[in-house]
Chains A and B, each alone.
Chain A
Amino acid sequence: MTQPLHFHPSEGFAARARAATADPALRKGFRGAMDFLQTKRQAQFTDAAELSDLRDLGAAIRRYSLSRLPELLQQLETNLVANGIHVHWAENADEANAIVIDIARRREAKLVIKGKSMVSEEVALNHALEGAGIEALESDMGEYIVQLAGEGPSHIIMPAIHKTKQQIAELFAAKVPGVTYTENVDELILIGRNVLRQKFAEADIGLSGVNFAVAETGTLCLLENEGNGRMCTTVPKVHIAITGIEKVVEKLEHVPPLFSLLTRSATGQAVTTYLNLISSPRKPGERDGPEEVHLILLDNGRTQAYNDEQLRATLQCIRCGACMNHCPVYARIGGHAYGTTYPGPIGAIVSPHLLGIGATHALATASTLCGACAEVCPVRIPIPELLIRLRNEAQSAADSGSELRGAGESRSVLVSMIFRAWALMYTHPMLYRIATWFMSRGRALTPTAQGAWTGIRTPLVPAPKRLRDLLAERNSRHE
């Protein structure tokens, strides 16, 4: 029996971040990749006015869809069922995994072949299937590479972004039977293609994520470049799609603007190679496509974000990854340091709802609040504001009335006292005047060891004269 997984990303976060920043090869790899993705995105959005209008439209569509979420989910279900697609609801990871395992057992499945799905990573589906004696094989090239290496993805769009081609060459030579070492990327891709082509034909079930689910037509939209998503959703007899409940839009015409924003923001492509719209299982007379199609709608903490008017904006996300591509922290520590399925700024605002604030409080602090993430977000999620809110929730007092899971769990008495004193001083002018007088006159007494700050920086010392003193001197000179 496999062990249940334990997720507590805050534990050891600082140590993982330190290890990552001390690894020059990793730093160089991420810096190069981030520069590449930023440049490509920039080249897609040469018309600032068009970008601004399109972001407004994208944000309006996502906000509109969320404002009608329960109605749209029911409309989606009705239309999917009418089209012959089975709909399942899961409140948490265990329920979602149990649904997949049930279908697999009923179909006596031995092999599930997977297209890229971050939600399946979120629920640790591969682990659950392994526990049930069912093989799960990733078919996206990046996912295939990280699965072979026994790792998880370090980026939501480019899972193997942390690996060099030399590392992948060594991995293939060691793990794929009959393969000799090659650093030629075309040859490496051909190796993956040949192994996986065989598996598409053998697999009993294909599993995929969903980029957008259209309520009015009962349609699942999938974007991809490789063709493995189409393989997974066409070749096996059963297709299971899994998605978060927030991915629904009302109208088919809501897809084109979001599709354009997603591909251009994610990888700087005008379009992905494939847009795959699936509206039913194989119909009578059709000669390929799955006999059964299932959709699993997963909550897993999303309703908690939804219940809060400010935090609801988290669910606008279309998972393009632009926020991490532009994050100075992500670029330096990489995806694995976060310890969550979703790394970077979006991970820091999504993960608290999935895992609780206590388990994830460190992630919201891994930000300089520079605002780059909000500036590039195609659906205008105010990420820095949400990070500040989550920092406050992590320190909230027991009687604050917060309804968020794990709020106040990581409250530090020292931190709250410092901030309370700070607030008192900054709201009482006389107190401020007295305190700064003592600080400037007693600056020689400032401790030289100031915790984490002086670990890598020179100590902070108050100025010998306050701004108030300097102004007073200047005014007396002019008189």
Chain B
Amino acid sequence: MSARERILQRLASAESRSPLPLPDVAAYYAAHQRNEDAAARLVRFRTAIAAAHAEVHDTDDAGWPALLCRIAIEKRLRSLLVGGDTADAGTLANQSQLPFALRSYDSAAPGWRNELFTAIDAGLTRAKSAIAETGSLVLWPDSREPRLMSLVPPVHFVLLDTRCIHADLHGAMTAEDWSSTLPTNALLISGPSKTADIQQTLAYGAHGPRELVVLLCHPTGAQS
């Protein structure tokens, strides 16, 4: 018998093992939901992610490239990694006079990994949605915006459509039907990388980005 069979046999023959009823997770979240509109939900998201040391800016679909350039100049960023063949990368490529070098994710290029780890100052990705309760961004990396774009560059810019904010993680999973559509890697990101492993002292930029910059894209015309 293999280890697998022996383990399963021991578990299956355990004493008094009767299946318990399936817990009603949805009922818990329904009982604890808040009566809030989209504006209140946005405030909650923003407060939570700002408390986790993220920078949050308001903009819209037309305004974000200029805002991004302004922040990049302030932070003295010389290079920005963008996705391959995404609408956002196209928008940026069409800008005249970018203050940084635009680099697309090119894992086939010789020396790419070394360049990614040492020569790129910032990455830009789009969030799929967000979670108000914990101030979390939902990212589903894919072939156009690979996983390391949100991890390796020291500064991570995220574009978030403000219409895609869910109350909590359970709400996001249910509304977006995660259980039948999960990609290779799904992520929640709730601030810059951090650690408190040295004498409980909080330090940012442990292994991932030191700075997380959230660009809130409000529907055009809605921004006051």
Give chain A's interface residues, CB within 8 Å of chain B: 32-33, 36-37, 50, 53-54, 57, 60-61, 63-64, 67-70, 73-74, 89-91, 95, 139-142, 145, 158-161, 163-165, 168, 185-186, 188-190, 192-193, 196-197, 200-201, 216-217, 219, 225-228, 230-231, 234-235, 245, 250-257, 259-260, 267, 270-283, 285-289, 297, 299, 303, 306-309, 312
- Tell which of A161, A197, A271, A278 touches B134, judged by Cβ atoms closer than 8 Å: A271
Q: Is B48 close to A, CB under 8 A?
A: yes
- Tell which of B11, B134, B185 touches A289, judged by Cβ atoms closer than 8 Å: B185
Q: Are B194 and A253 in contact (CB under 8 A)?
A: no
Q: How far is the CB of B148 from chain A (nearest CB, A)?
A: 5
User: What is the chain B residue whose CB lies nearest that of A279?
Assistant: B182
> A-B contact count, CB below 8 Å?
243
Q: How far is the CB of B153 from chain A (nearest CB, A)?
A: 12
User: What is the chain A residue whose CB lies nearest that of B134?
Assistant: A271
**Given known contacts A61-B25, A270-B48, A288-B107, A306 and B11 CB-to-CB distance under 8 angstroms:** yes
Query: Which of A73, A271, A280 has the most C-beta atoms of chain B within 10 angstroms of its own C-beta?
Result: A271
Q: How far is the CB of A264 from chain B (nearest CB, A)?
A: 10
Q: Is B78 close to A, CB under 8 A?
A: no
Q: Is B62 close to A, CB under 8 A?
A: no
Q: A197-B207, A287-B146 are in contact. List 5 more A-B contacts (CB 8 A).
A: A37-B200, A91-B3, A193-B205, A277-B186, A308-B15
List 7 A-B pairs, Cβ < 8 Å. Answer: A63-B20, A67-B20, A201-B114, A216-B179, A279-B182, A279-B184, A287-B105
A260–B19 CA distance with the chains assembled, in angstroms: 25
Q: How far is the CB of A29 from chain B (nearest CB, A)?
A: 8
B177-213 vs A: 1/0 string, CB under 8 Å? 0110011111111111111111111010111110000
Q: Is the interface of B mostly helix, strand, loop or mixed?
A: loop
Given the complex, which residues of A lie within 8 Å of B135, measured CB to CB? Answer: 270-271
A253–B26 CA distance with the chains assembled, in angstroms: 8
User: What is the chain B residue whose CB lies nearest that of A90?
Assistant: B3
A141–B32 CA distance with the chains assembled, in angstroms: 37
Q: Are A286 and B7 in contact (CB under 8 A)?
A: no
A158–B147 CA distance with the chains assembled, in angstroms: 27
Given the complex, which residues of B lie within 8 Å of A275, measured CB to CB? Answer: 136, 187-188
Q: Are A185 and B143 in contact (CB under 8 A)?
A: no
User: What is the chain B residue whose CB lies nearest that of A139?
Assistant: B207
Q: Are B20 and A64 in contact (CB under 8 A)?
A: yes
User: What is the chain B residue whose CB lies nearest that of A73?
Assistant: B8
Which of chain B's residues 39-60 have a Cβ closer than 8 Å to chain A?
48, 52
B139-176 vs A: 1/0 string, CB under 8 Å? 00011001110010000000000000000111001100
Q: Are B193 and A67 in contact (CB under 8 A)?
A: no
Q: Are A226 and B208 in contact (CB under 8 A)?
A: yes
Q: Is the interface of A mostly helix, strand, loop or mixed?
A: helix
A252–B177 CA distance with the chains assembled, in angstroms: 10
User: What is the chain A residue whose CB lies nearest that of B182?
Assistant: A279
Q: Are A164 and B23 in contact (CB under 8 A)?
A: no
Q: Are B7 and A219 in contact (CB under 8 A)?
A: no
Q: Is B94 close to A, CB under 8 A?
A: no
Q: Is B2 close to A, CB under 8 A?
A: yes
Q: How far is the CB of A342 from chain B (nearest CB, A)?
A: 19
Q: Is B4 close to A, CB under 8 A?
A: yes
Query: Which of the four size classes fits the interface of chain B?
Result: 35 or more
A160–B195 CA distance with the chains assembled, in angstroms: 12
A90–B18 CA distance with the chains assembled, in angstroms: 26
A193–B207 CA distance with the chains assembled, in angstroms: 6
Q: How far is the CB of B185 from chain A (nearest CB, A)?
A: 6
Q: How far is the CB of A229 from chain B (nearest CB, A)?
A: 9
Q: Are A256 and B170 in contact (CB under 8 A)?
A: yes
Q: Are A227 and B197 in contact (CB under 8 A)?
A: no
Q: Are A53 and B32 in contact (CB under 8 A)?
A: yes
- Tell which of A253, A259, A260 touches B179, judged by Cβ atoms closer than 8 Å: A253
**Given known contacts A57-B25, A95-B3, A160 and B185 CB-to-CB distance under 8 angstroms:** no
- Tell which of B31, B187, B207 touches A276, judged by Cβ atoms closer than 8 Å: B187
Q: Are B206 and A189 in contact (CB under 8 A)?
A: yes
Given the complex, which residues of B lie within 8 Å of A252, measured CB to CB? Answer: 173, 178-179, 182
Q: Are A277 and B187 in contact (CB under 8 A)?
A: yes
Q: Is B21 close to A, CB under 8 A?
A: yes
User: What is the chain B residue whose CB lies nearest that of A234?
Assistant: B147
Q: How far is the CB of A99 from chain B (nearest CB, A)?
A: 10
A299–B6 CA distance with the chains assembled, in angstroms: 10
A69–B133 CA distance with the chains assembled, in angstroms: 31
Q: How far is the CB of B179 from chain A (nearest CB, A)?
A: 4
Given the complex, which residues of A lie within 8 Å of B32, measured CB to CB? Answer: 50, 53
Q: Is B75 close to A, CB under 8 A?
A: no
Q: How far is the CB of A459 from chain B (nearest CB, A)?
A: 41
**Given known contacts A185-B199, A227-B193, A70 and B12 CB-to-CB distance under 8 angstroms:** yes
Given the complex, which residues of A lie within 8 Å of B8, measured CB to CB? Answer: 70, 73-74
Q: Are B194 and A89 in contact (CB under 8 A)?
A: no
Given the complex, which residues of A lie within 8 Å of B182, measured CB to CB? Answer: 217, 219, 252, 277, 279
Q: Is B14 close to A, CB under 8 A?
A: yes
User: What is the chain B residue whose CB lies nearest that of A214?
Assistant: B179
A70–B5 CA distance with the chains assembled, in angstroms: 10
Given the complex, which residues of B lie within 8 Å of A286, measured CB to CB? Answer: 142-143, 146, 184
Q: How far is the CB of B150 from chain A (nearest CB, A)?
A: 9
- Tell which of A70, A185, A288 touches B201, judged by Cβ atoms closer than 8 Å: A185
Given the complex, which residues of B lie within 8 Å of A36, measured CB to CB? Answer: 200
Q: Is B113 close to A, CB under 8 A?
A: yes
**Given known contacts A217-B182, A226-B207, A226-B208, A287 and B195 CB-to-CB distance under 8 angstroms:** no
Q: How far is the CB of A161 from chain B (nearest CB, A)?
A: 8
A235–B7 CA distance with the chains assembled, in angstroms: 33
Given the complex, which residues of B lie within 8 Å of A276, measured CB to CB? Answer: 185, 187
Given the complex, which residues of B lie within 8 Å of A308, measured CB to CB? Answer: 15
- Tell which of B2, B12, B113, B183 touches A89, judged by Cβ atoms closer than 8 Å: B2
A287–B18 CA distance with the chains assembled, in angstroms: 46
Given the complex, which residues of B lie within 8 Å of A67, measured CB to CB? Answer: 17-20
